[in-house]
């Protein structure tokens, strides 16, 4: 049962290794940009989000955080896209947990799990960080190993985070071929996913304003 499409559950070890060429940011009250204090997050795993540790003011941070997760396949975009978020702190000397109201989302990391098909159980590479305005903001090195039997949500070198609303839109099953896509096709699909994420972000912000 190693194939991604053979089960309704995606079971894997996810390792967030390091980042490269991340952008500098202006912290609150500063006039000059500085290297960001960053962390990577994956939402909706059990009762909490999964987060790496924080790396303070580095444009090439090293996290080496390992998560072992069980994810319902319908929590993945079109049942094959895993989306991570790269965040940074907005204020100096602030290292508390993930706070979507105070922290800055630098972008999304979109991982195509199609590489795990055809009895290949590992995906490893450098993935672009893409902002909501479709800007490239560096790269993140991630390794994913599909597993057959694990305990859910074992998370080494992590910081537990309070669970938030999902940032991912569940979509209908794709009728597209499972064959290898061209780079242009992958970029187009990523842009479509980002568009959905941007729409949901706007809806969430509007709902929060309405509640206030």
Q: Structural domain boundaries of the chain?
A: 4-211
The pTM for the full model equals 0.70
DSSP 165-190: --SS---PPP-S--SPPPHHHHHHHH
- Dump pLDDT digits (tens) for 117-157: 655 678 889 999 988 887 889 999 999 988 875 444 444 44
Write the CA distances from 75 to 45, 53, 81, 102, 115, integer angstroms: 10, 24, 9, 26, 18
Looking at domain 4-211, its CATH architecture is Sandwich (2.60)
Average pLDDT over residues 8-31: 88
pLDDT for 193 equals: 66
Residue 171's Cα: distance from chain center in Å?
17
Residues 52/158, Cβ–Cβ less than 8 Å: yes
Averaged pLDDT of the chain: 72
pLDDT for 9 equals: 78
- Dump pLDDT digits (tens) for 36-54: 999 999 865 545 578 999 9
CA-CA distance, 205 to 163, in Å (whole number)? 17
pLDDT for 172 equals: 29
């Amino acid at each position: 049962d190693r194939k991604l499409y053979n089960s309704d559950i995606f079971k894997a070890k996810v390792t967030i290794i390091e980042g490269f060429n991340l952008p500098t940011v202006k912290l609150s009250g500063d006039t000059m940009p500085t290297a960001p204090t960053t962390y990577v997050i994956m939402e909706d795993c059990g009762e909490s989000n999964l987060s790496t540790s924080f790396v303070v003011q580095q444009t090439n941070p090293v996290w080496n955080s390992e998560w072992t997760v069980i994810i319902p396949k319908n929590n993945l975009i079109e049942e094959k896209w895993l989306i991570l978020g790269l965040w940074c702190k907005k204020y100096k000397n602030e290292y508390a947990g993930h706070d979507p109201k105070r922290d800055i989302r630098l972008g999304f990391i979109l991982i195509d799990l199609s590489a795990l098909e055809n009895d290949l159980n590992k995906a490893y590479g450098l993935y672009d960080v893409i902002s909501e305005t479709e800007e490239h903001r560096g790269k993140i090195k991630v390794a994913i190993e599909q597993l057959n039997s694990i305990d859910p949500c074992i998370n080494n070198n992590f910081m537990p985070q309070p669970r938030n609303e999902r940032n991912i839109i569940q979509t209908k099953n794709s009728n597209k071929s499972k064959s290898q896509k061209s780079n242009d096709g992958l970029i187009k699909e990523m842009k479509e996913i980002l568009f959905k994420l941007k729409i949901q972000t706007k809806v969430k912000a509007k709902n929060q304003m309405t509640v206030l």
